[in-house]
Amino acid sequence: MMSISIGHYLVLSVILFIIGAYGVITRKNLIVILMSLELMLNAANIAFVAFSRQFGDMTGQVFMIMAITVAAAETAVGLAFVVTTYIYHGTLDIDVLKLLKG
Amino acid sequence: MESIAFYVFAALTVAGALLVVSCKNPVSSALALVLTFFSTAVLFILLLAQFIAVIQVLVYAGAIMVLFLFTVMFLNLREEALRFDARNIPIKMGILILILIVSGYFAKVGFKKAFIGAPLSHPEIFGTVQGVGEVLFRDYLLPFELTSILIVVAILGVVAIAKRRLD
């Protein structure tokens, strides 16, 4: 069987990123949109760690730790906004929440 | 053996991601996201990143998913109707996929001869807590400390948002 190269991991990363972007574009629920954002961040993390293995350098893994920190902070703030929005508007449908739409 | 594991867990990762964006119920989406994160952790182990895999399970599949599930159940959401904006999605996704294919082509050109199996900088500690910790605290100490500022700001922001009385 063919051995696994970095290309396999990058293709997987691209597929995950596209699926996440598809979720962000199509879904109407704010929480599911946040989950799709996590998918996209996860795709970036896979690329980081694959390149780290490729070059035999642990810097990519260190950056992945930073990315996880950012993802955790983003999720916490995002979910706080979600809860506040739900209490204020009574819905999480982004077709209803168009206050910032020009 | 390694390639079989890669294909199995890559397929699980993609299947979980597809479930996330296609499930009507947000709780199902959250549980599918857990599947994706666990499969990704296994892929990290295949990439010789044991510490990162543990972090992935602890932070993503543990903390972040608990936060998601708690919020979903706290808000008691109804199942949303899956509506699709059929006109715009093919255009948007087409542009996105085009960009990614072009960038993927350049990545393929750049890494044509490079295969995983390059010599490791420190083979015996690669990806372990010791190895990652040495890089993190020797070369990237300032960025590491700055992330703590980011977390403090995030905590303050969340408290400020959540404490605000809506009247």
**Structural domain count, chain B:** 2
Which residues make Cβ contacts (< 8 Å) with residue B45, sequence separation at least 6? Answer: B53
Residues in B closer than 8 angstroms to A41, CB to CB, are none
Torsion of CA B7, B112, B114, B139, to 10 degrees: -100
Contact A75 B30 (CB under 8 A): no
Q: Mutate which of B28, B39, B68 to test chain A, going by most A C-beta atoms within 10 A? A: B68
> 3-class SS at B32?
helix
Q: Give yes or no: residues B69 and B2 share one domain.
A: yes
Query: B73 and B129, same structural domain?
Result: no
Q: Distance, in angstroms, between B166 CA and closest chain A CA?
A: 7
State whether B68 and B138 are in the same domain. Answer: no
What is the per-residue burial (b if ≥16 Cβ within 10 Å, else e) of B22-35?
bbeebeebbbbbbb
Do B150 and A69 contact (CB within 8 A), yes or no? yes
pLDDT per residue as tens digits for the range B59-105: 988 889 998 988 888 887 666 655 555 566 677 778 778 877 877 77
Q: Say if residue B15 is in the same domain as residue B69.
A: yes
Q: Quick check: A49 and B47 CB within 8 A?
A: yes
pLDDT, position A93: 81
Determine contact: B137 vs chain A, CB below 8 A: no
pLDDT in tens, A75-90: 999 999 888 888 888 8
Note whether A98 contacts B: Cβ–Cβ < 8 A.
no
B15 neighbors B48 (Cβ within 8 angstroms):
no
Task: Tell me, yes or no, whether B72 and B10 share the same domain.
Answer: yes
> B109-138 pLDDT, tens per residue?
666 655 556 667 667 778 788 888 888 899
B86 touches chain A (CB under 8 A): no
**Domain ranges, ordered by start, for chain A:** 6-89
CATH of the domain at B56: 1.20.120.1200
- pTM of this prediction exceeds 0.95: no
Contacts of A6 in chain B (CB under 8 A): 111, 114-116
A33 in contact with B, Cβ within 8 Å: no
CB A77, CB A84: distance < 8 Å = no
Range of the domain at B152: 121-167
User: Minimal CA–CA distance to A72: which of B17, B154, B69?
Assistant: B154
Q: Which CATH code is given to the segment(s) A6-89?
A: 1.10.287.3510
**ipTM of the complex, rounded to two decimals:** 0.90
B28 reaches A (C-beta below 8 A)? no
